[in-house]
Structures are given as C-alpha cells and as structure tokens.
A and B are shown apart, each in its own frame.
Chain A
Amino acid sequence: DAGVIQSPRHEVTEMGQEVTLRCKPISGHDYLFWYRQTMMRGLELLIYFNNNVPIDDSGMPEDRFSAKMPNASFSTLKIQPSEPRDSAVYFCASSSVDKNQPQHFGDGTRLSIL
C-alpha cells in the first residue's frame, strides 16, 4: 500500500497567487481529512469528507479556502488568493469507516507565501 500521497511536497509562491494542494487517499478509505499545522496553533482540522461528500468544513479559516473531492481517489485544497499567514504545513489523512481505526497521514505540503 502506497499510503496517502500528497503533492507538491513544497510550494513557494507570492501573495495573491492561487495555490492548489493535492491528495490521493489510501484506496478503500471512506474518509478524507485536511489539516493545517503551524507552530502557533498546532494541528487544526480544516475539513473532512465521507464518500466524497464534505461533512464538516467548520475549520476552514476563510472563504479563500475551498476543498473538493471529485472522486474517491483524489482531493484538492485550494487557496485563492493566498496570503503570507497561510504559510503552514498542510496534511491530508484518510481512514476507513470503522471509527476505531486510525487516520493515516501523508507527508504534507510545506507552503510558504511570500
């Protein structure tokens, strides 16, 4: 099993640009999660999907953030326009439907907005 795959691993862009982060969950997992990690705030849940449907997006910080899951094997997190305070490591995770199963994390995208 390849695990959760995220791309790109690093992204550096200028303020105002659109940023798209990508995630491929583990095959067969029904849940997909997007997290953001910063030194100040730690690891925060932004949004999660069940069977490709967004269930809770209450963690999405602003309307500049949007996430989609067009099919079971792909999700995107988009920031438009980006701002320096969006700089963080963004993680995608997936899990099976059994609520006593762990979440499996990708290695993250380190995003720097200049």
Chain B
Amino acid sequence: SQQGEEDPQALSIQEGENATMNCSYKTSINNLQWYRQNSGRGLVHLILIRSNEREKHSGRLRVTLDTSKKSSSLLITASRAADTASYFCATGRGGSNYKLTFGKGTLLTVNP
C-alpha cells in the first residue's frame, strides 16, 4: 500500500452524524497532515499533527496519531452538508516534510 493510505474509500452519512476516516503510513514521519478537496477545487489544509503529538483539535475536527501503529484518524463531529468533499492524509517521505505523499482519499458525502 502507498504511504498515506486512507480508508474507507467512500463514506456516506446523514447531517449531524460523526464521520471518521483513517490513514495508515509506512515510514517514519515528522508530521502528518490532513487536507480537504471540494469538487473542482484545490486541496485545503485542515490540520497538522506532529509525531510527538497524540491528539489535536480544531473546531469540529479531531485528529489522532498512533506512531506505534503508523496510523492516524480524522473525526468530523456534527457533520454538515458543506463537509461533503474528499479528504486526504499526507506524510513526508524519507523524513522530508516537503515531498508529501498523498493517499487516494476518502470521499465523504453528507446527506441533508
């Protein structure tokens, strides 16, 4: 599997529900980043978690990082229709934070 691989590939929920997306990676990292991409637009940075952090919050977003399992999760609470987008995790390759590797993403659909 690729560095920065998300699952599930697609997730459909009702407005107000929580959405959880997972990301696994292979090599050591300095940080892991989550991005959102709306249809036809570029990626927008959501949150960055450093390797020495275990959990981070930003508004309705909560990110966890487990370096022993080489995995991260993104939780969106109280989802809204506007949260409908693809979500990607990204990690630096070979210790480099500039050469980001993105997974294929999770397509989240929030139904009103």
Q: A residues near B, CB below 8 A?
A: 4, 31, 33, 42-43, 45, 48, 50, 55-56, 91, 93, 95, 99-100, 102-108
Q: B residues near A, CB below 8 A?
A: 2, 30-31, 33, 35, 40-45, 48, 50, 88, 92, 97-105
Please list 5 pairs of residues, one from A and one from B, whose beta carbons are closer than 8 Å in the complex, sorted by A's number.
Answer: A43-B43, A43-B88, A45-B100, A105-B44, A108-B42
Determine if A48 and B99 form an interchain contact, defined as CB atoms under 8 angstroms apart. yes
Chain A interface helix/strand/loop/mixed: strand
- Least CB distance from B2 to A in Å reads 8
A106 vs B102: C-alpha distance when bound (angstroms): 16
Determine if B41 and A99 form an interchain contact, defined as CB atoms under 8 angstroms apart. no
- Least CB distance from A68 to B in Å reads 19
Determine if A43 and B102 form an interchain contact, defined as CB atoms under 8 angstroms apart. yes
Chain B residues contacting A102 (CB-CB under 8 Å) are 33, 35, 45, 48
Chain B residues contacting A33 (CB-CB under 8 Å) are 98
A7 vs B72: C-alpha distance when bound (angstroms): 35
Chain B interface helix/strand/loop/mixed: strand
Chain B residues contacting A48 (CB-CB under 8 Å) are 98-99
Determine if B33 and A42 form an interchain contact, defined as CB atoms under 8 angstroms apart. no
Extra contacts, 11 of them, besides A45-B101, A48-B99, A91-B42 (Cβ < 8 A), are A42-B105, A43-B43, A93-B43, A95-B98, A99-B30, A99-B97, A100-B97, A105-B42, A105-B43, A105-B44, A108-B42
Chain B residues contacting A56 (CB-CB under 8 Å) are 99
Candidate in B30, B41, B98, B99 with the most chain A CB atoms within 10 angstroms? B98
A114 vs B51: C-alpha distance when bound (angstroms): 45
A83 vs B92: C-alpha distance when bound (angstroms): 30
A108 vs B103: C-alpha distance when bound (angstroms): 18
Chain A residues contacting B50 (CB-CB under 8 Å) are 100
Determine if A42 and B103 form an interchain contact, defined as CB atoms under 8 angstroms apart. yes
